[in-house]
Amino acid sequence: MQTEHISCLIIGSGPAGYTAAIYAARAGLKPVMYTGIQPGGQLMITNDVENFPGYPEGVMGPKMMEDLRLQAVRFGTDVRYMMISETQLGQSPKWVKTDDGKELTADTVIIATGASAKWLGIPSEERLNGFGVSACAVCDGYFFRQQEVAIVGAGDTAAEEATYLAKLCKTVHMIVRREVMRASKVMQDRVLNTPNIKVYWNSETEEILGEKAVEGVRIINTKTQEITIIPITGFFVAIGHQPNTDIFKGQLKMEDTGYIITEGKSTKTNLPGVFACGDAQDAIYRQAVTAAGTGCMAALDAERWLSEQGLV
């Protein structure tokens, strides 16, 4: 069977991937997108997006991603709901394999694989995942209406999710490992001014309690060594994200943290014809709008590269 050859392959379907697709499709590159395991990316598990330009009243994350998908499809993007599981990007054309064993070659590859939530890494967290432990307050908060819940983390995500949970739950116990929060001032103020959010400073999670479902959490104050047991039914983890770049390890230059390194003010990676955009290469801004911006850049870089190589 002949291997399918693609001019512009886009891996990932968040704001970066879809924006790259819109630009690449309009430029006549006939992009093929492999969506990955979570079509739409992280915004599919987000509630209100109030900071994406063009939506004066805000928009629900999944609605925005559906709009982006429709826009990409309108110009001819071939969207495939499948994972890319293996790549060889150092050769020409580049070679990839899908989850179901299909092999493809591509002239250019745009990587828009995003990032995923980090976990604490304690055994009880894994054991009770899905039984009261969650990394997405917006997805799962509803199940804990009028109940006691805890959230760990102190960045903007934790602050946003804590205030979201506070509207649904009886009390939100927020576990912060230092004596300050990393979250922006406005988000911190929101947390500290919400009466049913109780902040535990200098505190680390020792164990999530419960056999079949979450029943409590044991925390330790690292300054005083005081142990506190908080009865809860929901435990939310909001401690940051990890770029989804494992399949490119050893091929693309990356930071120690796994973020792909791009060249100067471009989306060029160390390999010719391979471009990276969105959260997979951005440890700093990590916003939907910046991801979309770099998605546009990647498509323009890919188009320019293809034309320099005489491939379009």
Residues marked active site are found at 136, 139-140
Choosing from 240, 272, 290, 300, the residue that interacts with ligand NDP (CB under 6 A) is: 240
Instruction: Report if residue 207 touches ligand NDP, rule: CB under 6 A.
Output: no
Pairing outcome for strands 171-175 and 78-80: unpaired
CB of 1 to ligand NDP, least distance (A): 44
3-state secondary structure of 199: strand
What is the DSSP-derived secondary structure letter of residue 310? T
Whether the CB-CB separation of 6 and 304 falls below 8 Å is answered with: no
116 beta partners = 242
**215 burial type by CB count under 10 A (0-12 exposed, 13-18 middle, 19+ buried):** middle
Candidate segments 22-30, 101-109, 155-163, 244-252, binder of ligand NDP by CB under 6 A: 155-163
Binding mask 84-123 for ligand NDP (x = CB under 6 A): ------------------------------------x---
**283 burial type by CB count under 10 A (0-12 exposed, 13-18 middle, 19+ buried):** middle
Choosing from 107, 160, 279, 301, the residue that interacts with ligand NDP (CB under 6 A) is: 160
Distance (Å, rounded) from C-alpha 3 to C-alpha 214? Answer: 49
Whether the CB-CB separation of 204 and 219 falls below 8 Å is answered with: yes
What the block records as the tokens of 224 is 């005083």
Nearer to ligand NDP by Cβ, of 156 and 215: the residue is 156
Nearer to ligand NDP by Cβ, of 136 and 247: the residue is 136
Instruction: Report if residue 223 touches ligand NDP, rule: CB under 6 A.
Output: no
CB of 291 to ligand NDP, least distance (A): 11
What is the DSSP-derived secondary structure letter of residue 236? E
Instruction: Report if residue 30 touches ligand NDP, rule: CB under 6 A.
Output: no
Instruction: Report if residue 156 touches ligand NDP, rule: CB under 6 A.
Output: yes
Choosing from 137, 166, 232, 239, the residue that interacts with ligand NDP (CB under 6 A) is: 239
The end-to-end CA distance of the chain, in Å, is: 25
Positive or negative, the CA dihedral 103, 42, 143, 181 is positive
**CA angle, corner 107, sides to 102 and 112, nearest 5?**
75
Choosing from 84, 135, 158, 208, the residue that interacts with ligand NDP (CB under 6 A) is: 158
Instruction: Report if residue 299 touches ligand NDP, rule: CB under 6 A.
Output: no
Nearer to ligand NDP by Cβ, of 68 and 152: the residue is 152
Nearer to ligand NDP by Cβ, of 110 and 239: the residue is 239
Instruction: Report if residue 157 touches ligand NDP, rule: CB under 6 A.
Output: yes
CB of 252 to ligand NDP, least distance (A): 22
What does the radius of gyration of the chain's CA atoms come to, in whole angstroms? 21
Count residues near ligand NDP (CB under 6 A): 17
Nearer to ligand NDP by Cβ, of 77 and 163: the residue is 163
Neighbours of 222 (CB within 10 A): 14
Nearer to ligand NDP by Cβ, of 179 and 308: the residue is 179
Instruction: Report if residue 134 touches ligand NDP, rule: CB under 6 A.
Output: no
Neighbours of 82 (CB within 10 A): 16
Binding residues vs ligand NDP (CB under 6 A): 51, 120, 152-158, 160, 177-178, 182, 239-241, 286
